[in-house]
Structure 1
Amino acid sequence: MSPQHTVARVLERLVLLLSCVILAISALSAGAVVYIRHEVTTTATRFTPLIDGSSRMRVAITDAQSEYRGYLLTKDRMYLERYRADREEFRRETAEFRELAGGQVGAEAMDDLVDAGDRWFAAVDVQVTRVADGREGDISSTAATFDRVEVAHDDLVEEVSAAREERRDRYRAAMSISLVAIILASLVALSATLRQSWKVRRYLISPLRSLYSTVVNHEAGAVAARADTTRGAQEVRAVATAFNSLAEVNDSMRRERERQLDLYRLTSRVVGQLSRRDDEADGTWDDACRELSARLGVDATTIYEIEGDEIVTVGSYRSPSADFTPLLVDISVPALREMLADVPALFGHTPDEIFALFPDRLAGTADLHGVRAWALHPLVVSGEVVGILSIAAMREHHWEAAEEQAIRRVAEYAGHALAERRVVAELSALDAQKSDFVATTSHELRTPLTSIAGYLELIEDGDFGPLQPRQAHALEVISRNVSRLRLLIDELLLLNRLDSGAAGAERRVLDMRLLVTSVGESMKPVADAAGVELVVSTGTHSQPVEVERDQVERAIGNLTSNGVKFTPRGGRVELRIEADDAWVRVICRDTGMGIPDEDQAHLFQRFYRASNAREQQVQGTGLGLVIVETIARMHGGRVDLESSVGVGTTVTVTLPRAGSAHASAEPASEGTATA
């Protein structure tokens, strides 16, 4: 294309012509602008402030009139002080108006206003003096004088406004003349512009539209779209070429970002698989190794755990081409630790790099099995090497920065997962030891306790001779504490069986009304002996639940027993059933001592007893509610408690209705307590 068809040459000619027109317009406009600016400045700096000043004078004298009237009506000197302040404000505004007007605008009208104002202030002062002397003031006597003030002020405003309008008319006329001149000059410029427009359209507009369409398509997702570099002016073609280069760079960056996101998603999935137990069907450590190998495009991935002086494979995947055993199983742990002591992570892209970076024995192992790219990352937790992540390829593989980051993330989490497995195993062993200890101890205590109870019964029955009253009392105390100890051992044994799952899992569909009625009948004599009214309400409709009968009866019995035990003589315990389509609720409400707010959050902790129960020495083990909550949770239900001190306590056991969607649900969360 000829140099005269470049954007620069086309625009040069257009700019030269327009510059001449602009110079002419500028010369014409300069004078008009200076004149208009002078007129506008005069209006803005003199007449507008004069109008505003006259308004402030009117406000000041009007406020003075209001304060003057308030003073005459109330005799409150506060109004008098405000009146005097407004009077001074009026005089100060009149002085500022005179100074700003300079005697050129409204001088005569201003004199009339000041004179009328002074006359009104004088008349007001007379009335103020009358009030000060104890006589009544006459508001009407100053009304005519104030009317003259208003008339004088209106005349002043009218005169200043007329002068401002005259100024405005001047610069409006100047603006009209300037506008006509600018329009004429614009017509000249337009005719010159039309002469160049076809060249601009041909060499600039059309190619730019094509380039814009390409950019829009590229932004909309057509990443393969490229601009036409054969059309338009030289500059447009250069921009199109630059866009194509930028599109190539962006396409490369996009592919890199997609790879990074893909690796982030990969590590998220791998982390999820490492989080699952080996007995779960939807993801194990082997699956994590398979996923990692597939996404990284390698042939073998293995996760080793170091246990003392042994190295154990906990997860592994090898492709058919990787026909070898895990690479590190034949290396002793002390030797491996020594080799990796100063190299926390190794990435070899080629066999030469493996020999250069890896310890000799590891490099020899890679060569023996035909490994041509190898990444080895120790799994470190709190400074201790708990395992190793090994990723190998049977062909050369360039470990990208994103891949190295992904391997480091997987290694970090795998190390924590291995450490967590160890902790869980240790805690499980400790828990099993605890359960065995509780079961063994409880059984061992039961045998001598049964013997003690039997001999106590024989002594109390007089089989060993008559008892003195003091002896009988002592034996009664011993017998009562033996019963408490037996109850504690029974509850410990029950909790141990519930925790271990050995408490019986044979469930049947039963009517909850039968269970509640049975508990009510067994607790009725206890309540009568304690002087507590026990009311049982089961309704008329069947409430089926799928439960282990003995356990649920034990839970309801614990609730009822607590209600009777913590309710004073003359109180009331209500045991009733409520239900809907999904849940059956057993509600035990008493009018007992209640539970302090600060204790309620701890009621489902083992051996915890409310502070007021301890203070009043009410017997108990602190296991009753724990057993209730455990049984309810094992049946897919929950326990809720509401209590107020001195009012009573309501405990609700909620169990899934037989046949509902909740009946086969997992055990619910722990119980809640609210004040």
Structure 2
Amino acid sequence: MHKISLRLRITLLVGLLLVLLTTMLTIVSILSANYYFVTPQLQEGAYEKLNKVILDSTPIDSTLIDSNHDMNTDTLNNLSAQTKITAAQRGFSLQSVTVLIAIIIFGLGVTYWIMGRALRPLTVLSETIHDINEHNLSKPIEESIAKDEVGSITASFNSMLDRLKNSFEQQKSFSASAAHELKTPLATMKTSLQVLRLDDLPSADDFKDTILVMEQNVDRLICIVSDLLLLSSQGKTELDDEISLRTLFCEIAEELKEAIQRKNLCCILPQNDCLITGNRMLLRSAFYNLFENAVKYNKDGGTVEAKLQNTLDGKISVLICDTGIGMTEEDAVRAFEPFFRAEHSRLQQIPGNGLGMPIIQTIIERHGGEILLESKINIGTKVIVVL
């Protein structure tokens, strides 16, 4: 049944319904004809015959032979009438069945033809979709004027094409950015080795310098690969740790104490506490990166503040604010794209690979939360995490 075309399937279903209805109508018409016409005629003929026999029955005399002769003649006439009625009944039934078959055949043919015309736009849409590949995703399907189901399917498919196109573009951009990030440390390592080979008698210091460069770039490669694995990981995450957010931020601030003092920042930590359940390692990594960004992209003598608030719907809102270099609204929207870095931070040569915010977003979403970013250039950034 699944290999039969939709057109033929609909035709068969309509044909089945047509057979049932016409068969029922034919049976009802035959039974009605028998009940209202044939049976009364037969019964009336039999009654008249019996009445005549009773009325004409007299003691046997000289006229008995004539009476019997008349009765036989009437009986023959009645039998002839019954035969005609029965023959008419059979002819009516045969004609009804013949008309029934003709109507079914005609109905199936008309249904098949109508379904072909009705499904023609769907056939055209299917043929058009079949010709679409990764090279012509930007070419949308022409939508029909009629606002019917086919038009709705066409609009939905065009919307899906747009999403696929954006997804492919993001994938290409991600691959190019990942290749660039991985190529840079590899190129540095290769350059260091080539410089070392140019010296016929390299000293111990040359070896030490080369090893140091190699180690730094290997660490950078390991960090990038680890971030990519975390970003693409779809494994199940255990979310059963009870976490004190105030304690967590105090630990993070203590680890970043040297960087905070170097920039002479004012660090304001939460005074209240909120307990949440989740994966401590992942949440610590997320909030550490957010707090580190607030320190790294801040101005000398600026402020970093972390707040904890309870929302009206029973959720916990974590705010991390800074008075740093900020970014434009366009860059704030793209901040969660892998390997994206705002031009402002690139110009100031602030280190980073653009994977921090996407990883943070992934961690927060795995905990059923959401993250928002608000920023203004040269004013500061506010990150809101709702858990």
User: TM-score if structure 1 supplies the norm length?
Assistant: 0.32
**What are the within-5 Å matches in structure 2 for residues 27-42 of structure 1?**
none
Cα–Cα, structure 1 residues 539 and 478, in superposed 2: closer, same or farther, change >3 Å? same
How many residues are aligned here?
262
Equivalent position of 1:466 in the other structure:
204
Letter in 2 for 1:494: L
Equivalent position of 2:294 in the other structure:
563
CA distance in 2, matches of 1:476, 1:569: 30
Of residues 108, 119, 123, the one that matches 1:378 is: 119
Equivalent position of 2:138 in the other structure:
none
SS at match of 1:502: coil
CA distance in 2, matches of 1:383, 1:531: 66
Cα–Cα, structure 1 residues 467 and 602, in superposed 2: closer, same or farther, change >3 Å? same
CA distance in 2, matches of 1:598, 1:416: 28
CA distance in 1, matches of 2:345, 2:255: 24
8 Å CA contact 1:532, 1:564 repeated in 2: no
Equivalent position of 1:496 in the other structure:
232
Cα–Cα, structure 1 residues 622 and 356, in superposed 2: closer, same or farther, change >3 Å? same
**What are the within-5 Å matches in structure 2 for residues 304-319 of structure 1?**
none
Of residues 550, 557, 567, the one that matches 2:281 is: 550
Say if 2:277 is the partner of 1:524. Answer: no
Say if 2:328 is the partner of 1:590. Answer: no
Deviations 1:531-581 (A, max 9, x none): 4436252324x4122322222212101111212221244444333323345
**What are the within-5 Å matches in structure 2 for residues 323-472 of structure 1?**
350-354=103-107, 356-357=109-110, 375=115, 377-378=118-119, 380=121, 383-385=124-126, 409-410=148-149, 413=152, 466-468=204-206
CA distance in 2, matches of 1:422, 1:615: 37
Equivalent position of 2:219 in the other structure:
483
CA distance in 2, matches of 1:480, 1:409: 62
Equivalent position of 1:636 in the other structure:
368
CA distance in 2, matches of 1:579, 1:422: 38
Cα–Cα, structure 1 residues 512 and 644, in superposed 2: closer, same or farther, change >3 Å? same
Cα–Cα, structure 1 residues 576 and 385, in superposed 2: closer, same or farther, change >3 Å? closer
8 Å CA contact 1:532, 1:567 repeated in 2: no
8 Å CA contact 1:537, 1:577 repeated in 2: no
Deviations 1:70-125 (A, max 9, x none): xxxxxxxxxxxxxxxxxxxxxxxxxxxxxxxxxxxxxxxxxxxxxxxxxxxxxxxx
Of residues 310, 315, 328, the one that matches 1:579 is: 310
Cα–Cα, structure 1 residues 650 and 414, in superposed 2: closer, same or farther, change >3 Å? closer
SS at match of 2:226: helix
CA distance in 1, matches of 2:13, 2:108: 22
8 Å CA contact 2:239, 2:367 repeated in 1: no
Letter in 2 for 1:351: I
Say if 2:352 is the partner of 1:614. Answer: no
8 Å CA contact 2:239, 2:277 repeated in 1: no
Give 1:607 shift: 1.8
SS at match of 2:256: helix
8 Å CA contact 2:125, 2:154 repeated in 1: no
Letter in 2 for 1:353: F
CA distance in 2, matches of 1:477, 1:578: 45
SS at match of 2:319: strand
Letter in 1 for 2:283: V
Give 1:385 shift: 3.7
CA distance in 2, matches of 1:569, 1:476: 30
Give 1:474 shift: 5.7
Letter in 2 for 1:484: R
SS at match of 2:334: coil
Cα–Cα, structure 1 residues 640 and 413, in superposed 2: closer, same or farther, change >3 Å? closer
Say if 2:222 is the partner of 1:512. Answer: no
Give 1:601 shift: 2.7
CA distance in 2, matches of 1:312, 1:510: 57
**What are the within-5 Å matches in structure 2 for residues 255-334 of structure 1?**
none
8 Å CA contact 1:595, 1:645 repeated in 2: yes
8 Å CA contact 1:494, 1:503 repeated in 2: no
Letter in 1 for 2:321: R
Cα–Cα, structure 1 residues 567 and 503, in superposed 2: closer, same or farther, change >3 Å? farther
Deviations 1:209-251 (A, max 9, x none): xxxxxxxxxxxxxxxxxxxxxxxxxxxxxxxxxxxxxxxxxxx
SS at match of 1:555: helix
SS at match of 1:567: coil
Greater relative contact order (Cα < 8 A, sep 6+):
2
8 Å CA contact 1:555, 1:627 repeated in 2: yes
Give 1:645 shift: 2.8
Equivalent position of 1:602 in the other structure:
334
Equivalent position of 2:385 in the other structure:
653
User: TM-score if structure 2 supplies the norm length?
Assistant: 0.51
**What are the within-5 Å matches in structure 2 for residues 17-56 of structure 1?**
none
Equivalent position of 1:331 in the other structure:
none
Give 1:467 shift: 0.9
8 Å CA contact 1:597, 1:644 repeated in 2: yes
Say if 2:356 is the partner of 1:624. Answer: yes
Give 1:422 shift: 9.7
Cα–Cα, structure 1 residues 589 and 421, in superposed 2: closer, same or farther, change >3 Å? closer
Ranges in structure 2 where 5+ consecutive residues have no aligned partner: 20-101, 129-146, 197-201
Cα–Cα, structure 1 residues 411 and 584, in superposed 2: closer, same or farther, change >3 Å? closer
Letter in 1 for 2:119: P
CA distance in 2, matches of 1:646, 1:420: 41
8 Å CA contact 1:495, 1:627 repeated in 2: yes
Cα–Cα, structure 1 residues 618 and 482, in superposed 2: closer, same or farther, change >3 Å? farther
8 Å CA contact 1:577, 1:584 repeated in 2: yes
Deviations 1:178-233 (A, max 9, x none): xxxxxxxxxxxxxxxxxxxxxxxxxxxxxxxxxxxxxxxxxxxxxxxxxxxxxxxx
Give 1:613 shift: 0.7
Ranges in structure 1 where 5+ consecutive residues have no aligned partner: 1-301, 325-348, 364-373, 388-407, 656-675
Letter in 2 for 1:650: K
Letter in 2 for 1:409: D
CA distance in 2, matches of 1:652, 1:564: 16
CA distance in 1, matches of 2:211, 2:328: 35
Larger Rg: 1
Letter in 2 for 1:549: R
